[in-house]
C-alpha cells in the first residue's frame, strides 16, 4: 500500500493542482480567512465594478465542508484522475484545454435562465454563483463517454455501465434535493466538448477544437506532465524549484 505522499506524487498534474486549489479554498473559507462572497460568480459585479477575477475564482469553490463537498471532491479525485491518466495519458495540454473550454462553456450556460416548470411559483434563476461542481461533473461525463462499458458499483447495491454513471449521480442529487442545474450544465459542457473534440473529427471533419498553442506553451513552461506531438519543446528548467524529491509523471 502506498503512503499518502506517494499517492499524492502519483496524481496527474492538472487534476492534482485543481483539487488542491479547491480544497485550500474551502479550508480557507471554513477558517474565515476570507469572505467567500468575494470569489463567487456575479455578472452584475463583473460588469459594474469590473471584478473580473470572479470568472476564474468561482471554479475553485465546491461549496463549504459538507456531504455535497465530499461527494464532489471524491468524484474529482476518482474520475478526474482516471480520465487524465487514461484517455488523456501523455496529453496534459489537451486535458488542460478541456478544462478551459469547459469553464468557458459553463460561463455561457450559466447565463441561461432556469425555470422549474413543476412549480407554479417558480421564477427564472439567471446564474449559479459557483461553477466548480459543474466542472467536476464535466470530468465525470467525459470519462463516462471514454469508457462506456466499464462496470461501476454504486454503494455495493447496484452495478451499472460507466456511460450511465452521470445520470445515476443526477438521480441521486434529485432524491436528496440537491440543485440539478450544476450537474446538467456539466453534462451539457462535457457533451459539447466530446462532440467537438472526438465525435466531429471522427466523422471525417476538421478538428475545430484543437488545443491552442498558448496552452502547449503554458504546459511546457510549467514542466509537469507530458504532451505527445507537442509543437513546443519542454523547458528542462521549468518547475525545478517546486519538485523537490518528487518525480515527473509518465517518465
User: How remote is the C-alpha of 198 from its chain's centroid?
Assistant: 18
Non-local CB neighbours of 75 within 8 Å, separated by 6+ positions? 136, 137, 139, 140, 169
Q: The C-alpha cell of 142 is what?
A: 467525459
pLDDT, mean of each 10-residue run, the chain (251 residues) = 83 96 97 94 90 96 95 95 95 97 96 58 63 97 95 83 94 90 95 96 90 94 85 66 39 35
pLDDT for res 237: 61
pLDDT for res 125: 55
pLDDT for res 198: 94
pLDDT for res 239: 53
User: Computed over its alpha carbons, how large is the radius of gyration of the chain?
Assistant: 19
Q: Rounded distance, CA 97 to CA 147, Å?
A: 20
Write down the pTM of the prediction: 0.88
Residue 248, number of CB atoms within 10 A of its CB: 14
pLDDT for res 213: 94
**105 to each of 38, 87, 150, 192, how far by Cα in Å?**
22, 21, 27, 8
CB 40 within 8 A of CB 110: no
CB 57 within 8 A of CB 78: no
Whose cell is 495519458? That residue is: 89
Amino acid at each position: 500500500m502506498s503512503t499518502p505522499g506517494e499517492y499524492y506524487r502519483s496524481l496527474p498534474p492538472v487534476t492534482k493542482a485543481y483539487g488542491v486549489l479547491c480544497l485550500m479554498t474551502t479550508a480557507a473559507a471554513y477558517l474565515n480567512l476570507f469572505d467567500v462572497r468575494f470569489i463567487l460568480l456575479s455578472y452584475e459585479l463583473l460588469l459594474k465594478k469590473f471584478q473580473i477575477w470572479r470568472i476564474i475564482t468561482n471554479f475553485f469553490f465546491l461549496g463549504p465542508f459538507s456531504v455535497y463537498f465530499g461527494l464532489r471532491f471524491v468524484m474529482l479525485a476518482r474520475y478526474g484522475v482516471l480520465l487524465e491518466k487514461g484517455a488523456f495519458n501523455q496529453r496534459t495540454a489537451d486535458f488542460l484545454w478541456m478544462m478551459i473550454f469547459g469553464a468557458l462553456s459553463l460561463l455561457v450556460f450559466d447565463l441561461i435562465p432556469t425555470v422549474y416548470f413543476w412549480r407554479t411559483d417558480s421564477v427564472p434563476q439567471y446564474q449559479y454563483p459557483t461553477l466548480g461542481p459543474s466542472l467536476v461533473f464535466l470530468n465525470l461525463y467525459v470519462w463516462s463517454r471514454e469508457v462506456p462499458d466499464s462496470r461501476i458499483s454504486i454503494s455495493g447495491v447496484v452495478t451499472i455501465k460507466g456511460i450511465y454513471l452521470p445520470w445515476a449521480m443526477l438521480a441521486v442529487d434529485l432524491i436528496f434535493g440537491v440543485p440539478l442545474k450544476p450537474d446538467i450544465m456539466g453534462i451539457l459542457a462535457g457533451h459539447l466538448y466530446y462532440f467537438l473534440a472526438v465525435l466531429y473529427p471522427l466523422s471525417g471533419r476538421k478538428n475545430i477544437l484543437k488545443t491552442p498553442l498558448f496552452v502547449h506553451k503554458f504546459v511546457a513552461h510549467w514542466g509537469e506532465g507530458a504532451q505527445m506531438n507537442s509543437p513546443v519543446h519542454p523547458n528542462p528548467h521549468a518547475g525545478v524549484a517546486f519538485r523537490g524529491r518528487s518525480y515527473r509523471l509518465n517518465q
